[in-house]
Amino acid sequence: MAVSSSFSLFILFLVFAFAATAPMGKDYIVGGKPDAWKVPSSESECDSLNKWAEGVRFNVEDHLIFTYEAGKDSVFEVSKENYVSCNTSSAIKKYNDGKTKVRFDFSGPYYFISGEKGHCEKGEKVTVVVISQRSIVSPSPSASPASAPVAPVQGPAVAPSPKSSANVLQGGGVLMAMGVVVAAMCFF
Ligand SMILES: *[C@@H]1O[C@H](CO)[C@@H](O)[C@H](O)[C@H]1NC(C)=O
């Protein structure tokens, strides 16, 4: 009896110890494949990065990885306004090393565009919304003091992107409306 209960305590301890030392963040390759960070080759691919991102639950401490040819492309983290207008002139962060690994330190929306001339306008951009599931657990040892309030880096933590699928889904001509929206977003 005593043996069995201390044994289950030991198991319990192991479970907690494992949970505490388990890797904290997951790595995601943008678009789910290594060559996805590029100008979409067709209108049907135009919004594919955002479609992919909408299907992923990003957490604080996860990483987003962009792979591309160094020097030929880049990744700029920008504000929502600059994401929408493809304005590369005041990026929050710029990367052009070919294998960019972005760590999400805060919950909220993140906006990434290509820094190359014309690429963002043609659809090389992605929005990611990070949730703060881990904020209910004890603070991570690597967290910086400044990270205490879980606030978005920039802008209010509102809808992930300007388009709302709820609006589009009502009424007829759904596909047509979506086609127009996508085409307008990529090749205006
Ligand atoms: C881009 O952003 C900068 C800084 O916010 C601003 O000064 C500039 O006017 C913007 N350019 C365009 C084309 O909107």
Amino acid making up residue 51: K
Q: Are residues 124 and 55 in the same domain?
A: yes
- Asked if residue 146 is part of any domain, the answer here is no
Give the number of the atom of ligand 1 that is nearest the alpha carbon of residue 88: 1
- Select from 133, 152, 178 the last residue of a domain: 133
**Phi and psi at residue 82, in whole multiples of 5°?**
-70, -25
- Asked if residue 154 is part of any domain, the answer here is no
Q: Are residues 9 and 30 in the same domain?
A: no
pLDDT in tens, 60-85: 999 999 999 999 999 999 999 999 99
- Asked if residue 148 is part of any domain, the answer here is no
CATH number at residue 116: 2.60.40.420
**Phi and psi at residue 74, in whole multiples of 5°?**
-165, 170
- Report the nearest-CA residue for atom 12 of ligand 1: 87
Tell whether ligand 1 has an atom less than 6 A from the beta carbon of residue 81: no
SS3 153: coil
Token pair 């030929």 in the structure block, residue: 72
Other CB atoms within a 10 A radius of the CB of residue 78 amount to 26
What's the whole-model pTM score? 0.65
- Asked if residue 145 is part of any domain, the answer here is no
pLDDT in tens, 8-28: 666 555 555 555 555 579 999
Domain coverage including residue 178 = 1-23+170-188
Tell whether ligand 1 has an atom less than 6 A from the beta carbon of residue 85: yes
CA of 138 to the centre of ligand 1 (A): 41
Give the number of the atom of ligand 1 that is nearest the alpha carbon of residue 87: 1
Q: What is the dihedral of CA 102, 104, 108, 110, to 10 degrees?
A: 0
**Phi and psi at residue 95, in whole multiples of 5°?**
-135, 140
Tell whether ligand 1 has an atom less than 6 A from the beta carbon of residue 89: yes
Q: Are residues 98 and 29 in the same domain?
A: yes
Amino acid making up residue 65: I
Q: Are residues 53 and 92 in the same domain?
A: yes
- Asked if residue 147 is part of any domain, the answer here is no
How confident is residue 43, by pLDDT bands cut at 50, 70 and 90? confident
Ligand 1 pocket mutation, candidates 89, 111, 120, 188, criterion most atoms within 8 A of CB: 89
How many domains is the chain partitioned into structurally?
A: 2
Per-residue pLDDT for 125 more than 50? yes
Cα 39 from Cα 77, distance rounded (Å): 17
Q: Are residues 19 and 70 in the same domain?
A: no
Token pair 């920039």 in the structure block, residue: 154
Q: Are residues 19 and 31 in the same domain?
A: no
Q: Are residues 88 and 100 in the same domain?
A: yes
Beta partners for residue 70, in sequence order: 73
Side-chain half-sphere CA neighbours of 133 within 13 A: 10
Q: Are residues 127 and 73 in the same domain?
A: yes
- Asked if residue 138 is part of any domain, the answer here is no
- Asked if residue 110 is part of any domain, the answer here is yes
pLDDT in tens, 127-173: 999 998 755 544 555 544 444 444 444 544 444 444 444 443 444 44
CA of 86 to the centre of ligand 1 (A): 10
* Structural Rg of the chain based on CA atoms: 20
